[in-house]
Amino acid sequence: EKHLLMAINIFQENKHSGVFISLEKMSELYVKKSTQDPLNRKKLKNKAIDYLKQALGGVKAHFSSNSPHILRIQSKLRTLQGK
């Protein structure tokens, strides 16, 4: 987690289009944590959703609307949000 946060900060400081990859990985980490911690499941799942929303925002800024990255992240968001 610490290393992913460092990577996110570096990407954001340099306005690098690849920041979405680290944000997606953070989301995956929080999804995994949510399955292992029933007491904090909702809070951890919400953090995962927040990271995916950030990733989606970054992807939309750098890629076309029919990019597979956008479609993948939107699919993950729908799954987590139960839509």
- If you count DSSP H runs as helices and E runs as strands, how many of each does the chain have, helices first? 4, 0
Distance CA 18, CA 76 (A): 18
Instruction: Please give the helix or strand (H or E) that residue 75 lies within, else none.
Output: helix 68-81
Residue with the two structure tokens 């839509």: 83
Instruction: Give per-residue pLDDT as tens, 30-76.
Output: 999 999 999 999 999 999 999 999 999 999 988 898 999 999 999 99
> Given a cut of 80, is residue 22 above it in pLDDT?
yes
Q: Residue 42: CA atoms inside 13 Å, Cβ hemisphere, count?
A: 1
Place of tokens 């289009």: 17
Considering only the C-alpha atoms of the chain, give the largest distance between any 2 of them, rounded to a whole number of Å: 39
The pLDDT, as a whole number, for residue 15 is 86
